[in-house]
Each structure stands twice: as C-alpha cells, then as structure tokens.
Structure 1
C-alpha cells in the first residue's frame, strides 16, 4: 500500500476523503482540540484507507458509511463531500480560522531546518514513525530526530534497550525511503536522580542526537537538582537539555524545578550541550527570564516541538516567537543548522 499523504500537506480544493480526514485531524491537534475528537477523524481515515475504491463509492451512493465501525455522522459527511469532489465544510471552517501559533518569530521560523524532539506510537506518541516523519518533511523541514522515551518512564511506554535496537532497524529502513529528507535516530533519555542516564551508554553512543530530561522528583531541593543537572549536561553523550524546569502552565499547572541556573547554563556552554526551547503551549520552557540567562551564558539552543502527534509538529512558531523576543541569534539555534553541521556537532563530544 502506498503511503498516505502527510496531513501537513495543504489539500487542494477537492481533497480525497482520506486526505480530508487526516488534514482535519492535523488542524485539530494543532489547535489543541480534545483527543477524542482528533481520534474520531484519524480512525475514520484509517477505515476509509482500508476500503477499495468500488466499496467506498458504493457505500457513499447507498449512504451506508455509518454501518462501518469507526465512522460517525460527522466523519461520514466529510467523506461524502470529498468523494463528491467538494471541499468538506468541516475542513473549510478549520482552514479559515487563524492559526493559534504566533507569527512574531516568523523570520526565525523560516530559518528552521529541523526539530530535535518528537515522539511516535513506540512510546507515548499517537502516530506511527512514518506519519510523524512525513509530516515534518511536508512542513518544510530537512531533517527531524525521533526521540521516544527511555525505559524508566513506564507510563509513556519507554523503550528498553531491546526495543530501541528494534526501532533503530525500523528507522534505517524508513530513512532510506524518505531520502533526501533525513530521519535521525535519537531518544529522550530520563535524567536519573544522580544525574546518570536511563539507557545503555553504548547504545546512546549509536544515536544521532540525545535529549536528556528530568521527569521525576521535580521538587528535589535546589542543591541536589543542580548537581543532578550538572552531571547530566556534562555527559558527553548528551546533546540537548530538554524542558529544563519541568514547569506546566495554563490549565494543568506545575511549578518550576529550582536549580542554580547560571551554573547549569555555564556547564552547558562549556560542554556544548544545547538548551531546549520547548514549544509545547503548556510548557514554553525555559521561562523567558531563564532563556535570557542561558543566552548570556553562551549556550546554543534547540527549538523543539516535543510533538506527540502530527499537528503538534506545527508548534515550532511558539518557540521561535519566544527566542526572537529574547534576541536569540539564529546561528545559535541548532535546529537552523544543515544536517551535516548538526551531526558533526553532536558527534564531537563522543
């Protein structure tokens, strides 16, 4: 079966039913719609993709789409309108709405070549690797790093060493299909309580990019958290320090972890470890005051979506707007770099 078009692709005036359903799901994800609503359109797209053209045509003509498990009244309307050669009204309404992603960092956003932090359904993401990679490509990226979770984060189905090795084989096959677009290997590795990393060191050395993040004991006392982060960012296998304060803002709130930011950012600069500017609307981490201190310390940055679904890969504008407001120069942002420069930089410490 041929791969489905990426939902990031702008459909024409009369998209086919699968393209229309996938595009609706993408826009709902970007707009932070409830998961159940997104799932309805993704499920319907999968059902339609499994039908033969004759069966789809027959069901549309006989108005029996609703008999299929996974297709409801709204998704059936979209399918029927698209099958008739019309732009579905539901999709037209979504396309007409202004994007929730800020445009203040448009110039920096235009300079982005990749994204160092995204998840697939191998851990806690909602879509297969190939869908995530094709979406990143169709958004204009030249490369993207797959960074599913490490084993300690069991709630996110973190990858054991065995599963990570299996994923590397899958990525190698898919990367060959997607060339010249580059799908890079990576992981979001838990920083353990003592600052060590939650994965086999030899396996980490095989990866293109390692993002290291704290996901547990976020309220650790400041001296201990400082030691924890210093140990992690000085590890030669760590390339990016992910969402450094662990804060959550908006509806579900969580306070920042406390640590000696100047000491940690100085260690990042010395060790050539980038500080992530996390683009998730509920994170936007680090806060702007710490972003400015990291800039003064001389670190590089990675503007990452931390996407868990295709539509979230379109969130990079959040980070670009914040970086622009803090006057972060584009050349200090590793996600603006060509892939060869990124890989040379990431491999230099190993």
Structure 2
C-alpha cells in the first residue's frame, strides 16, 4: 500500500468523524513531509531507521509507513476503517445525494479551515464532485482569519492557477461573507462581483431582537451579490449547544424566493441548519436550496448525506437544489442575480 495514501486516508476518516484537530494534523503533516521527498527516499529512510528524524514524522505515523511498505493495511487504518469508514449513519436521501454535483460552502487554511486549498480541491474531486466552491471567511471575522481584500485577490489568483491543472474538476471562487448588523455585506462590492458564489451568514449578535434580525437577513438576501443564505439560525445542536436566532421565517424566506437567493441546508452534524420546521417553510415559500457541507477539512466534504436526508424528509424538490446543477448552470444563475449590481457600478 502507498504510505502517503494510507496517511491521507487516516486523516480523511478522522476529519469525517470530527476527531480532535491535533490528531488529524499529525497524519496530514506526515503526509505532506513524505510527499515532498524524492522517489525512493521513503523506503531508504525506512530501511536505515531515519524516518522519524524528519520533522513532522512521529512514532505513530512512522509505524503506518512501515506497515504500508511491508504490503499490509496499517493497523491504525484498519481499525479506523472498521470504526469510521462505514457509510454515515443516516436514513434516506440516497437519490438526492446521487444527484449532487458540487458544494457551495467550504473552507481552507486561508481562514479557519485545516487544510490547504489544494488538498480541499483534490478531496472534492476524489469524492466525485464536478465542482466545489471555496468560501473562506470575510475580513470582519478576525477570529477565523477572515480574508482582507488583498488576501482574497491573492486567493483568486491561486484558484485560477489550480484550475489550469484540474480539468474537468473545477474549483469555483467564493466567500462566506459576514452579514453586518445593518444587513450589508462585509466585502468590497467590486470583489464580490468577481466571485462565482457568495454565501452570506450571520456570525455576530446572534441574539439580536427578532424584528431587527429579520430586517438584517432580508437586507442581506436581497443584495444582488448574495447567492446563498448560510446556516440561517446559527444554532448548534451538540456539546453545550447554541439556541436559534429569532426572526420571521416567512418574511425572510419570501425575500429569498423573490431575490433568487438559495437557502443553505447546512450538513455539519453540529448545525443541521435550518431546523426541519423552517426547512419546510422555505419549501412552501418556493426558495432555491444548496445542500452544503461547510467543510473545514477534506474528510468533512463527505457530510452531504446528512443534508440530503433532511432535504428529502422535508420535501425539498431536487430541481430546486443548486448543488445538483452543472457548474455552468450554477454560474448562469449567479450571474443573472448580479445583473442589478453590475448596472449600478460606475
């Protein structure tokens, strides 16, 4: 077995099961170190016992390498496959999951994700996605290393370069843009205009008065640059949890339907947002939807099954799910939505 592939698979399964970050990092780091070595050096270092002298390779990761080179499935990987390698524990949604072509909400280590852009893109392609949108955070979210305008421009150049190597897979440009207190968006309009997909989300003052939060969300989803409303209630359902933000869902979802802004079905196990009752209201309002993972690591890209199961349970029509569309269909939709913004530019 290829030792780098074994390390990557271990990291993927740990990420998929929300294992502690430090544990994932050990295997991701070892994989990157070994991937950079000249051909034959991994085997040579394994034979002469110098593998662990490499910075980033420890006893556990070195054992994985030795067992892989001996032609075995490493014990750590074998145990992890038994514990975490099975299909996700969800019921339903299989038909919608089979239709998914992409993911509108992912993060890299440019903001608060755990892996480089390249690793996120390769993982999405290996899962069978035709496209994925990179949506690192906007400047105001400093705790998540939100991207300044200059850093976002640098990222756009990187994505353009990577796409020259990845065809037919395509990494689309995007952002998870903070919705500010007054409903305006936390990035320069000219930069938002350049992006393929803009996810807009609330990350601050989640306990705002319901009337003020309703005005805030309606203003954001009505902005011509907004394409997807991310995790609309902001709730967390695991650990200590976090209650839902309060707003008028009828008014917000009606605004989404009128503006053509999709409502995200966030697949993260600790979010599963919106709740079922609100998801059904969005269906009745006639909105579009995006089944997204909000992945912060490659293994989390596999979480769409959670969102698809909830979508099916709540009667979401597959034809209204933008993540089932081709990249060109998706881009036609976002460009049409930007027409009023383009007309307003000098």
Could you state the TM-score of these two structures normalised by the residue count of structure 1?
0.93
Residue in 1 that maps onto 2:58: 72
Backbone CA RMSD of aligned residues:
1.2
Give 1:99 deviation, angstroms: 3.3
Q: 1:91 aligns with which of 77, 80, 89?
A: 77
Residue in 1 that maps onto 2:329: 341
Q: 1:195 aligns with which of 183, 198, 210?
A: 183
Give 1:174 deviation, angstroms: 0.7
Asked whether the 8 Å contact 2:265–2:273 carries over to 1, the reply is yes
**Structure 1 residues 309 and 101: CA distance shift in structure 2, 3 A:** farther
Q: 1:140 aligns with which of 128, 140, 148?
A: 128
Asked whether the 8 Å contact 2:88–2:305 carries over to 1, the reply is no
Aligned mates of 2:230, 2:328 — CA distance in 1: 22
Alignment of 1:154 with 2:142, yes or no, is yes
Could you report, residue by residue, the CA deviation over 1:158-196 in whole angstroms, capped at 9, with x for unpaired residues? 111111111111111111211121111110000000000
Identify the range of structure 1 (48-57 vs 326-335) with the bigger mean alpha-carbon deviation: 48-57
Aligned mates of 1:293, 1:308 — CA distance in 2: 28
Q: 1:272 aligns with which of 260, 280, 295?
A: 260
Aligned mates of 1:196, 1:26 — CA distance in 2: 36
Give 1:135 deviation, angstroms: 0.8
Aligned mates of 1:188, 1:291 — CA distance in 2: 21
Give 1:56 deviation, angstroms: 2.0
Aligned mates of 2:335, 2:177 — CA distance in 1: 17
Alignment of 1:305 with 2:293, yes or no, is yes
Give runs of aligned pairs for residues 206-245 of structure 1, distance below 5 A. Answer: 206-245=194-233
Asked whether the 8 Å contact 2:97–2:304 carries over to 1, the reply is yes
Q: 1:314 aligns with which of 292, 295, 302?
A: 302
Aligned mates of 2:192, 2:30 — CA distance in 1: 38
Aligned mates of 1:329, 1:101 — CA distance in 2: 23
Identify the range of structure 1 (105-114 vs 173-182) with the bigger mean alpha-carbon deviation: 173-182
Aligned mates of 1:308, 1:325 — CA distance in 2: 26
Identify the range of structure 1 (114-123 vs 55-64) with the bigger mean alpha-carbon deviation: 55-64
Asked whether the 8 Å contact 1:101–1:315 carries over to 2, the reply is no
Aligned mates of 1:201, 1:53 — CA distance in 2: 47
Asked whether the 8 Å contact 2:138–2:175 carries over to 1, the reply is yes
Choose between structure 1 and 2: higher helix proportion. Answer: 2
Aligned mates of 2:98, 2:212 — CA distance in 1: 39
Give 1:305 deviation, angstroms: 0.3
Q: 2:32 aligns with which of 28, 32, 46?
A: 46
Could you report, residue by residue, the CA deviation over 1:73-105 in whole angstroms, capped at 9, with x for unpaired residues? 221111001112222121122223323352521
Aligned mates of 1:144, 1:245 — CA distance in 2: 24
Identify the range of structure 1 (173-182 vs 266-275) with the bigger mean alpha-carbon deviation: 173-182
Residue in 1 that maps onto 2:275: 287
Aligned mates of 2:170, 2:212 — CA distance in 1: 38
Could you report, residue by residue, the CA deviation over 1:276-316 in whole angstroms, capped at 9, with x for unpaired residues? 00011110000011000010100010000000100000111
SS in 2 for 1:211: strand
**Structure 1 residues 177 and 103: CA distance shift in structure 2, 3 A:** farther
Could you report, residue by residue, the CA deviation over 1:250-286 in whole angstroms, capped at 9, with x for unpaired residues? 1131110000000000110011000000011110000
SS in 2 for 1:51: coil
Asked whether the 8 Å contact 1:212–1:238 carries over to 2, the reply is yes
Asked whether the 8 Å contact 1:143–1:181 carries over to 2, the reply is yes
Asked whether the 8 Å contact 1:24–1:94 carries over to 2, the reply is yes
Aligned mates of 2:20, 2:154 — CA distance in 1: 32
Structure 1, unmatched stretches of 5+, are 1-13
Aligned mates of 1:100, 1:167 — CA distance in 2: 32
Give 1:45 deviation, angstroms: 1.1
